Amino acid sequence: MKTGARSETRIETQTQTRQSRLVDRLGGGLLFDQPLSELCSFGVGGPLQYLYKPGTTRELQDALLIASELAMPTRFVGLGSRVLAGDWGFKGLGIRLGGALAQVAVDPQDPRYLLVGAGCPIETLLPQALEHGIDASCLAGLTGSLGGALLAGDPGYDAELRTLIDSAEVIDREGQVRWVVRARSQTIARLGGFAALTRVRLGPRDPDLDTELAAARAKACQEFRQAFRPEGPFLGPIFKNPEGQLASHLVDRAGLRGARIGQAQFSLVQSNYLVNLGGATARDALELMDLATYRVKRKLGCSLQLEVQLMGAF
């Protein structure tokens, strides 16, 4: 056998061994070659080698431990509005929270509080929080999961969350589960030092909450956000706002509002978002992002940093 063929066989065997160990440990919950285009809101992305949807903190803890033992690249995908997945997919383990980690429950220890899985879509959470006497209207109109919102959220959003979040459950980098209390969880986006956000304790309920007023606040907030959001599949915000500036204004001033490569376009509604006009590729999106970075630097002398996370091979 030639050397090339031999090393190919060895890599194949190693992959099979890794796969069988992963299957053994995670059981039937593992899915193979799922299209990332269906997991990310922009609707692009090749196959995800392994997808796991843990339904409990314990399951997630085990999955992270196994992935670490196997030295397997691991990424979280909430609802994927800030993740650009490559056309050639991602080799490794993708985790999307499921079961109780994507649901809302009353805290059995203290029914004034709600325990919300970090994977819970904000749209699902809002009406349940209101019904429970918790005003979560500051989250209305956000399209992602609660975990994604807290982790991808600009630190400027912390003030709005301060009254809402009591504490958060995280799995730290050593694999230990711990609760971060309110004083710290308000800075959860910047806290770092943990591998996963699993659940968030919201409350306490306000027995005197004017639910009509809170619902009206949520509606206003939703309408406001919707007015600045593109129609159809979108990705963003693409760039972080540089100190004292808005990334969308910089993209505008660089003459790129509405600029298009292939089927990806800087939104006409808000230039810090990309829209998928139908059949865009990750490569189209990446090229547009590179173009904006280059033009903004050249024309305006300002360095743009990516806010979206890149995942996999482009």
Q: Does 79 bind ligand FAD (CB under 6 A)?
A: yes
Sequence-distant (≥ 6) Cβ neighbours of residue 135 within 8 angstroms: 129, 164, 206, 209, 214, 217
**Minimal distance in Å, beta carbon 183 to ligand FAD?**
17
What does the alpha-carbon distance between residue 179 and residue 194 come to, in Å, rounded to a whole number?
A: 11
Q: Min. distance of Cβ 8 from ligand FAD in angstroms?
A: 32
Min. distance of Cβ 298 from ligand FAD in angstroms?
Answer: 26
Judged by CB, which is closer to ligand FAD: 138, or 259? 138
Of the candidates 49, 38, 105, 45, the residue with the CA atom closest to the CA atom of residue 72: 49
Write down the least CB distance from residue 39 to ligand FAD, Å: 8
Our CB check for ligand FAD shows the closer of 48 and 77 to be 77
Binding flag, residue 85, ligand FAD (CB under 6 A): no
Rounded-to-integer distance, Cα 77 and Cα 151, Å: 12
Q: Give 113-153 as a DSSP string.
A: SEEEETTSBHHHHHHHHHHTT---GGGTT--SBHHHHHHHS
Note whether 225 binds ligand FAD by CB under 6 A.
yes
Considering the rule CB under 6 A, would residue 75 count as an interface residue with ligand FAD?
yes
| Residue of 49, 57, 61, 81 that binds ligand FAD (CB under 6 A) | 81
Using the rule CB under 6 A, give the single segment among 28-36, 157-165, 251-259, 296-304 that binds ligand FAD. Answer: 157-165
- Per-residue binding string, ligand FAD, 274-313, x by CB under 6 A, is -----------------------------------x----
- Applying CB under 6 A, among 46, 98, 153, 233 the residue interacting with ligand FAD is 153
Q: Binding segment for ligand FAD among 66-74, 151-159, 246-254, 296-304 (CB under 6 A)?
A: 151-159
Does position 45 bind ligand FAD by CB under 6 A? no
Residues 97-116 that bind ligand FAD (CB under 6 A): 97
DSSP H or E segment with residue 200: strand 194-202
List the alpha helices (DSSP H) in the chain: 3-26, 57-69, 122-131, 146-152, 158-161, 182-185, 188-191, 211-227, 247-253, 282-300
How many residues at the interface with ligand FAD, by CB under 6 A? Answer: 31
The torsion of the CA quartet 154, 155, 159, 162, rounded to 10 degrees, works out to 100
- Residue 225 makes CB contacts below 8 A (sequence gap 6+) with 140, 141, 142
Interface mask toward ligand FAD for 112-141; x: CB under 6 A = ------x-------------------xx--
Backbone angles phi, psi at 263, to 5 degrees: -105, 15
Give the DSSP letter string of 34-60.
EEGGGTSTT----EEEEEE---SHHHH
Residue (22 or 120) nearer to ligand FAD, CB: 120
Query: How far out from the chain centre does Cα 94 lie?
Result: 12
The conformation of residue 254, written as its DSSP 8-state character, comes to: T
Minimum separation from the CB atom of position 221 to ligand FAD (A):
9
Binding residues for ligand FAD, per CB under 6 A?
Answer: 75-83, 97, 118, 138-139, 142, 144-145, 147-153, 157, 160-161, 196-197, 225, 237, 309
